Structure 1
Amino acid sequence: MNAVKNLSTMKNIILFIIAIAISGNTLCQWTQLNSGTGQKLEDIDCPSTNVCYVAGDAGTILKTTDGGQTWVSKTNGLDVTEYYNSIDCIDENTCFTAHGNGGLYKTTDGGDTWVEKNMPAGSITKIFMTNSSIGYASPVGAYLKTIDGGENWTWETSSLHFGTNTSIFFFNQDTGYFAFGDATDMGVIKTTDGGNNWSYSLTGISCPPKALHFSTISFGILVGSDGCAYRTTDQGASWDTLNTGTSKILEDIWCVDEDTCYIVGSTGASMLKTTDGGNTWASDLGSAPSANYLSIDFPSQNVGYAVGWGGTIIKKDYSTGFGELKDNSPSINIFPNPATEETIIYYAANNSSFNKSHFEVFDVLGKKVSSQELNQGNNKLKNNDLFSGMYLYTVVSDNTILQTGKLMVN
């Protein structure tokens, strides 16, 4: 069912949502996809909500172009005896992947063919392209950089201790971070000039880091083994320790904004979510299988994927209860959900025809109980006048319904 509906169908939509709720089918959960493989899947990168690439063991490279409904193998030109532990895409057709013995490959035709590139290093743990020309890769003890779209890679050195680089994140081509960890030291280093100079951002941490992610240039979270997590809100100038409530290995993190982040990790901490910037965490796995998840990616604020052991791929789509928004429709995110005192409605319209939109709340009998105009960015809905329970919402612009879904109030 399309996300955009005429108002004449509102009654049917509301009745349909009620039927789903009564049957116990909760919207917006993580759901398992059929990957067609049992291999361990190490990394996922999605250049769009429908197109994703996955790298894994035994020469596994998978691609979907239909939002995960089907996955096809894309290994032409690759050494299929190797395990591929990193994949990074510039767009839907141009991607890089690397394996544990130092081979690095590039495709420019959507994975139909891969070409090996000049790589003067051993095992690569991560690739990160900041744009179509500049990118970084992380071997042990230093890092590699390309300035020609990955055709050639050169060793870059620094007086700082790089150790075993476990994660790379660049917010733009100038500002980036490397997480490192070995027996000597563990922490994060930062550059603000494209790698010409580096400084320590975080040192002396208590567990080997695994991954870091920034949702804005100021806000980022680092996760690692033993359930450890650290947060910065000032561009890495300082970090505070977070309590994730687990001692399990945390493998990867993705923050969709400064409030909502997801962590994937080993069984027992397969999927954790925060809606308050990392202060509290709770399981968000729902009915998805409990597994060792290794990588997570949100190509938009509304759609996310995660991969892990045993060929497991799961997806969460909360753009609507009925499918993804059209490309020219506004980006809409409702959080937290369930909510207590207030609900945040994130609204970003890239089309002037959607500038005047309203968020309308209905009880289960179809009676409208709340309505407010939406501005660009975060909008606050006060829940003081709503009783605890389930409500239905619509986002309406003129005579068009942009999104419908279920709102829970505690």
Structure 2
Amino acid sequence: MTHDTYSSRVTRLNLAAGQTLINASDGTIISDGTQGSREINGNLDNQGLITIDHPLQIAGTSVNNAAAGIINGNANLTVAGATLQNAGTIDPGGSGKSSFGLIGSVNQPASGTLKVDMEGLVPGTDFDQLNVNGAAQLNGTLNINRLNAYEPALGDSFTVLTYGSRIDTFQTITGQDIGNGKYFYPNYHSDHLALFVGPPPVTPQFTLTASTGPNGSISPSGAIVVFQGDNQTFTMTPISGYEVADVLVDGVSVGAVSSYDFLNVTADHTISVTFQPQTFTITASAGAGGGISPSGAVQVVGGTDQTFTIAPDVGYHILDVQVDGVSQGALSSYVFNSVTANHTISATFEINTYTIVAQAGPNGTISPSGNIPITHGNSQIFTITPNANFEIADVLVDGVSVGAVSTYEFLNVTSGHTIQAIFVPITHTITASAGSGGLIQPSGTTTVNQGSDFTFNIIPNPGYSIADVLVDSGSVGAVSSYTFTNITTSHTISASFVQNTFTIIATAGLNGTITPSGSISVPGGSSQTFNITPDSGYHVADVLIDGGSIGAVTSYTFGNVSANHTIEASFAINTYTILAGAGSNGSITPSGSVVVNHGDNQSFSISPNVNYNIGDVLVDGVSQGAISSYDFLNVTANHSISAFFTPDNFSFATLSTGVTVNINNVYFVNTTTGYAVADDGLVLITTDGGQTWTQSYIGVAVSLKSVIVVNDTIWVAGANGHICYSIDGGGTWIPANPGGVQTFHSITFSGGFGWACGADGLIYFWNGTSWVQQVNVAGITFQGIYAIGNFVYAVGTGGVIYFWNGTSWAPLTTGITVDLYGVYFLDINFGYVVGANGVIYRTTDGGVTWVALNTGILVIIRNIIIGDANTAWAVCEGGIILQTTDGGNTWEQITPGCGCDLLGITFVGGQGYVVGSGGVAYNFQSTLVTGNPSFAVTPTSLDFGDVGVGYAKTLSVTVSNSGDAQLNVTASATNGNYVVNPLSASISAGGSLEFFITFNPTSAGTKSGSID
């Protein structure tokens, strides 16, 4: 059957006599049904699958289960006329477990397999069983297949095969090793085969001992343990320069082998290896003119070194050394390192040749000249010849003088040499001298070359002339030079001189003198000085020497006079420059650089524009007040005058502080008493509205940045972590430093509590007894802080604004990114912040939103103060004051004229005070925009109920301003049982502020109070 399934439920499948039913590899025969038996009347060759679930009888004489064939099932197979040849697989039960019966005999060759599935102890149910009632001839494989990780117990037994008789056993059993210390053992009985579960068998082990002598190795080495029947290979490896000498196995030589195999080991063995050096030949030879040592055929033990020395004969040198035919250069020795092969080495030589370098200096020759080659042992003659008018000075051989010789011979030359000839002119002397009053150049004895020319110059001193010149004692006249030509002998030359007299005529114009004056007689060669003096108010205009200007000098010296001269001085009246300038919103007349003659007067008129006043006039940097004109009388120096102007509601005055260091901030308690803080630990104190100042020193020379007065206590803060206070008007200072070295830039107080801010993102809180840290924000610097009621605002770098709501700090979202320097609030809703690039931002809702205002400047605005809801002032770097009178919508620039940086500002009682760099201070008066405040208090009464002595209760009222001007509120408690916070505040038009009243009874009984 091919490519088909045949299911037999008929009684018999008849085949012709001798025919065989072939079930191909892809065919299936199934014997099933419920009644009778099934029969194939013929031979069977199964190459596919036969499933016998109903008894099947095969009546032929040949029943063969080929190598690819499978027989399974749970019924009986009868082979009455033949023996079942199982070259394939018998699998009782197939995918299940079953008992499978064979009526007849079976022969299983080496390729056959009996497969037994098991997962329990019951035969036919939990494990497969093959029952053969005839003879079973066994070979091939028994395949034990445990299902579902089934693990039998030690001592369990499984009868997997029964038979009438048995021949041989299974050649291979797979699946014997169960694991966990268990193993299937086959027990062949006379009528059955049982698989017994016991411990695993122990395989015998044997030791192979491997050793080696020096100069090589065996691998593996030492004691090697192998199981019975295993194979083991050993490899012998000599080191470089050695070879295997012999290998002994169990003491018997097996020759100089490089490897050896122990096969099917059944006993202990030994193996050892010895090594011997390799020997190589180096053939050494040398040509004529030298030798090599050693020479000839040199025997060298492998791995060792061999040195050869090459020596030339006298007068020869090594030309080349070749190793294995390859040039190594002119070596005097060669080493073969760690020899591992045969080699050759040969040396060649040649006779030495030397060079004599012959050179001649200028004015002569040497012959022969240049680089002259000379063979070892030969000689060479050189001839030296000077040019005309020259002679041999010296001859140097190898740098050593041999005298002024005209020939020189090198004999038996054995090395290189040099020869150099030097020549000098033939010379004569000329002796030159001069009398007083001049000189001859050159003077003294001069050596000159024969045949040359030589000139002498005769030079009289200033005021002298040449009298005569004598050559070899004969006069040649009063010549200024003389030349000796084609000199062939020595000579003498001498000069004499006579003194001259000259006249200098000196004159001076009006308004000055020259001394001496007139015609001045001056001996030749001497000097004469003239002094030029202008009259008072005049200056030297020019000085002419021989008609040529030398500038407006006050003295002149004719040095080494050698001719007649003139000197003439002229004078001019002095002029001075007055620089006149005016700030914006006014003018000064005349303006610019005004030139004024010495002693003259000059008047200037100052005029403000409409709606402006003269703020101040500075003459040479000193304030003259708000004057409309100024006269410079009898001008004798340069001057400057500058005027600046203020709006009609603003007047200005310069204050003298007496210091030149930076004044960083200012605070006035009232219009007379104020405090300013400066560098070097200085506090400036005034009690007369800034007209005079006294200095107080806190004890540490640090830069102080901020000042405030709280209930007669003066607080200052600054660099290096310094905060201190004074309770005696600045007489003494008490440190209150919180610790650290950061700079505190600003300090503020409200309701008895204080806050200080500065570098490193720090904000400290004064709780009435000490400073404690509240905020530490890395990467920023807080530069300004202001408290209003229970609220506090701190500003700093990067546009940061932090807000204290009475309980905690939090940053406000503003969109501001530039550095901020100052902050001021009129009430809890209305306030400004200022900073870099000329920015001012305004809020009218307590910091929820901020509006950028146009200031018209780009410099840093350092600080700001509010007069009322309409009026505010800001101070800037570059000496600018900004003023607004419309609530910040527009800003006007006011310039005091100092050009300095303005750093601090305060305003009280209609008086403002400004301070800045270089110790500057100003006072201004400004009339606030007037209006009518209108206030209401909600609620109008408070009921605290019952409060025990020693306890407290706080309620609040809201004061609102519905008018069109600022409302100033002063709070006080006339009854000692009540405390009000804040004690004072300003409320802008349309604004409101909450006041907190604390009832703290000090005695029992009914208490009452009223709100006025």
- Please give the TM-score of this superposition, normalised by the length of structure 2: 0.28
Q: What's 1:311 paired with?
A: 919
Distance, in Å, in 1 between the alignment partners of 2:757 and 2:658 is 29
Are 1:170 and 2:783 matched, yes or no?
A: no
Matched, 1:278 2:860: no
Instruction: State the match for 1:245 in structure 2.
Output: 856
Change (3 A) 1:215 1:146: same
* 1:57 Cα deviation after fit: 0.9
Matched, 1:132 2:752: yes
Task: Tell whether the 8 Å contact from 2:868 to 2:928 is kept in structure 1 after alignment.
Answer: no
Asked whether 1:186 is paired with 2:799, we answer yes
Cα distance in 1 for partners of 2:886, 2:710 equals 31
Paired residues of 1:32 and 1:314 also in contact (CA < 8 A): yes
Q: Which residue of 2 aligns with 1:86?
A: 706
Taking the aligned partners of 2:820 and 2:869, their CA distance within structure 1 comes to 21
The one-letter code sitting in structure 1 at the alignment partner of 2:815 is G
Match of 1:152 among 748, 770, 781: 770
Distance 1:235 1:27 in 2: 29
Describe the shift of the 1:99–1:189 C-alpha distance in structure 2 as closer, same or farther (beyond 3 A): closer
Q: CA RMSD in A?
A: 2.7
Distance 1:229 1:334, change over 3 A: closer
CA drift of 1:263 comes to 0.9
- 1:149-194 Cα distance to aligned partner (Å, 9 max, x none): xx42111147x7782111101111x11111121xxx432121221x
1:295 aligns to what?
Answer: 904
Task: Indicate the structure with greater strand content.
Answer: 2
Answer yes or no: is the 8 Å Cα contact 1:202–1:239 preserved in 2.
no
Contact 2:860 2:877 in 1 (8 A): yes
Which residue identity is paired with 1:228?
V
Is the helix fraction higher in 1 or 2? 1
Q: 1: CA distance between counterparts of 2:703 and 2:627?
A: 43
Q: Could you tell me how far 1:133 is from its partner in structure 2? A: 4.2
Cross-structure match for 2:668: 46
The alpha-carbon deviation at position 204 of structure 1 amounts to: 3.4
In 2, the alpha carbon distance for the partners of 1:85 and 1:140 equals: 16
Residue identity in the other structure for 1:186: G
Q: Measure the CA separation in 2 of the matches of 1:257 and 1:178.
A: 21
Q: State the distance in 1 between where 2:730 and 2:705 align.
A: 16
Displacement, 1:316?
1.2
**CA distance in structure 2 between the aligned counterparts of 1:59 and 1:142, rounded to whole angstroms:** 22
Map of 1:95 onto structure 2: 714
Is the CA contact 1:189–1:202 (under 8 Å) kept in the aligned structure 2? no
CA–CA distance in 1 between the matches of 2:759 and 2:767? Answer: 17
Instruction: Give 3-state SS (helix, strand or coil) of 1:189's partner.
Output: strand
1:283 corresponds to which letter in structure 2?
A: Q
Tell me the distance in 2 between the aligned counterparts of 1:281 and 1:133: 34
Q: 1 CA distance for matches of 2:668 and 2:649?
A: 22
> Which has the larger displacement, 215-224 or 162-171?
162-171
Shift in CA distance, 272/157, structure 1 to aligned 2, threshold 3 Å: closer
The answer on whether the counterparts of 2:791 and 2:804 sit within 8 Å (CA) in structure 1 is yes
**How big is the shift at 1:131?**
3.5
Change (3 A) 1:103 1:202: same
The code of the aligned residue for 1:170 comes to A
- Structure 2: distance between partners of 1:242 and 1:218: 17
Kindly provide the amino acid, as one letter, of the partner of residue 86 in structure 1: S
Q: Provide the rounded CA distance (Å) in 2 between the counterparts of 1:253 and 1:171.
A: 15
Larger relative contact order (Cα-Cα within 8 Å, sequence gap ≥ 6): 1
Letter of the 2:706 partner, please give it.
S
**Contact 2:867/2:928 (CA < 8 Å) preserved in 1?**
no
Q: Take 2:671 and 2:791, find their aligned partners in 1: how far apart are those partners?
A: 26
For 1:250-399, what aligned pairs fall within 5 Å after superposition? 250-267=861-878, 270-285=880-895, 289-300=898-909, 302-318=910-926, 333-335=927-929, 344-345=930-931
Mapped to 1, the partners of 2:859 and 2:893 lie a distance apart of: 13
- Tell me how far apart the structure 1 counterparts of residues 870 and 778 of structure 2 sit (CA, whole Å): 32
Shift of 1:256: 1.0
Q: TM-score, normalised by structure 1?
A: 0.66
- 1:99-140 superposed Cα distances (whole Å, 9 cap, x missing partner): 211121110000000011141233211111224344444342
Work out the percentage of aligned pairs sharing the same amino acid: 27
Q: Distance in 2 between matches of 1:257 and 1:169?
A: 16
Distance 1:29 1:162 in 2: 42
CA distance in 2, matches of 1:49, 1:104: 26
SS at the partner of 1:245?
coil
Q: Distance in 2 between matches of 1:189 and 1:23?
A: 47
Cα distance per residue 1:342-381 (max 9 Å; x no partner):
xx45689xxxxxxxxxxxxxxxxxxxxxxxxxxx9758xx
Report the CA distance between 1:299 and its aligned residue: 2.2
Query: Which residue pairs with 1:6 in the alignment?
Result: none
